[in-house]
Structure 1
Amino acid sequence: MRKFASFSVVLVLALAACGSNAGRSTTPSPSATADVGRASAVTPVDDATLAAAREEGEVLLYTNSEDQQMTPVVKAFEAAHPGIEVRSLTLGNKEMFQRYETEVASGGSTADVIMSSDAVGWLAFLAGGNVLTDADPNQPHLPGYAVLAPGVYAFSLDPVVAVFNKAVLPEAKQPTTMTELAKLAPQLDGKIGATDISNVIQFGATSAYLDRYGDAGWKNLEAIGAHANVESDNGPLVTKLAQGQYAAAFFVSGTVRAFIVDDVAKVVNYSYLTDGTPLLPRGVGVTAKGEHRNAAKVWLNWLLSVEGQEAACRGGFTPYRDGVRCAFGLPQVKAIVGDENLIVGTFDPALATGGPAIVARFNRAFGR
């Protein structure tokens, strides 16, 4: 079951309540001109796997992404591989792993592919032997950070962003770094919003940020936390921000960028904080017990192709392969932030062992 409304839907409803009609997505901001390079090579699955996939005819995907994000990706795949249908089921991050394990234990059918941003959840899932460890044929063409674990790859590398209400905090006064936000926090007392650390995006971004900055990072978070409010998830956070109860929110999933356009962009804007732009990999892997193993391999292989990465862009995800033109692509983010300021998240086992201490200190800093 879905646990929160999509960002775009929430913004439309919030702005409607304020007397504005949000239009459809057209052009994101901020933007940068970046050299995306030449498209790297693509290696498809072998003919036998493709033939078997067509016989199976379908893939069941458990994902933490909303339907409106996955629809352009699924449509592009089905156009490229007619006869193979992708059924996409949106679930909470913890829920999808638990559901898979319950279904396997009961002998029922289950997901062929898992897609999730929950690094800690993935670590436990991998330890349970729940993922096929076969290397995808595209692996030699991918950057090293795209291989998260044997059989698990980054579908996208989504940055977190800061989001602002321009009526409450004009663009000229908006901070450009986490350090600036921390210094500005006393003036924005009660007007800064964040999601709870139990949210996988907040946990992933916080962990990556602290891995880079250590005590200095904690100093900024504690300064912000003294003047911030915490929401359970993105739904109430963006509603309050769009309606002006919050002036700023930080470590928000970068998938929101595709929806801050047109009438929405008259009220809300986003930016990359140059000292705090963690990029969180959205992991994808073929499960060990799915019924449509070959079709799942074709789906994964296509997701990691240039064509699949182009479709990812249309869903608001952040592609990272060379040669993919996308206003949200990794080269665009680098052009704005600077390569040296990007903090790429990993599936480091330390996330599981060190997580409780991060959660406890974050909760103290934010008065939880």
Structure 2
Amino acid sequence: MTTAVPSWHSSMPACVDILAPLLAAGDLHTARFAALEYAMRPAASAASPSPWQQPAGGTALAAFDKAAGDECGAAWRELLDEFLLSGEPALATVAAKHSALTLPPPPPPSASLISMEDYDACCSWLARGGDAPRRCGAASPGGSGCSLANGSTAATTFLCPFDDLAGLIWANSRLISLNQDGFLRPFDVATVLWPAGYLLGLWVAAEARPGGLLWRGGDGAESCQVLDLGCGTGAVALAAAASLGGGAVVTAVDRESRSLALATANAARNGLEVRLSPLDYATDEAVAAFAARHGVTAPSPRSGFVEVARVAGLGFGLHTRWSESESDFEVVVARRVKK
């Protein structure tokens, strides 16, 4: 791999050499912040702690450098894909590494939600170069004020590819800590949680209550099966696992190996049981083979779907930046029926 090294890194190892041992060990969390540190121009004060060692330490960083980010992005993609070629053993390594990581506990849910302006100023892991320091209290990276919840006016900002989510609060008040690595490839669909995915996670948690659309009971026992198709960071699957409890079987699949790695790490960090599996759902043959492995009966060729409900994002606080009465997102609920 030949890439240009930024001038201020002339005395440092290349990003590929920094990431190689971390990714080989399945330590996506440390590798992510190591890559972020590498891609930042040095701050005016060199006494600041490394952001990936102390992500809530208030590090003052000057600016993200796109060339260095592209370098790390290429290294991340090549090294992680090579590591994940071993399939299930690699995912098991990722899960074991993240289960053993010593991480600060997620902050408790905040009693009051912060404004979008405060989120921009106080909650991003990346300080804005030249801005005067602000005393944000709980509204700072890792603080309870930066957790996102149903109704948060900052809900449209959390997909920023340069941020590491402190936490998502679902309908049952379970706080989920989530990593995403899209800062290496801005607006990468595979490894960034988007507002539509956030809405789906909120809906899943809300419908996990007894009597909800994701719950069915028999003899007083709760049971449910959920398939997260194209799981990305795993947020929706984690919402289902956290909300449905031990009676649920949650399976998450994705065609992108980097997504499976992140979803595995996120499940391990939160201590949630999610079955993860690679699946190229673009082909009927792959889907049929997956269904056969998991004992799923193929639907009748004469079956179809009927719409059950259409849920607007407004019910979960996802309005547009310009109007509190409009939303760009909705959940469409469908049920399979025989024709």
Q: Is the structural similarity TM-score above 0.5?
A: no
Q: Which has the higher helix share?
A: 1
Relative contact order (alpha carbons < 8 A, sep ≥ 6): 1 or 2 greater?
1
Task: Give the TM-score normalised by the residue count of structure 2.
Answer: 0.24
Task: Give the TM-score normalised by the residue count of structure 1.
Answer: 0.23
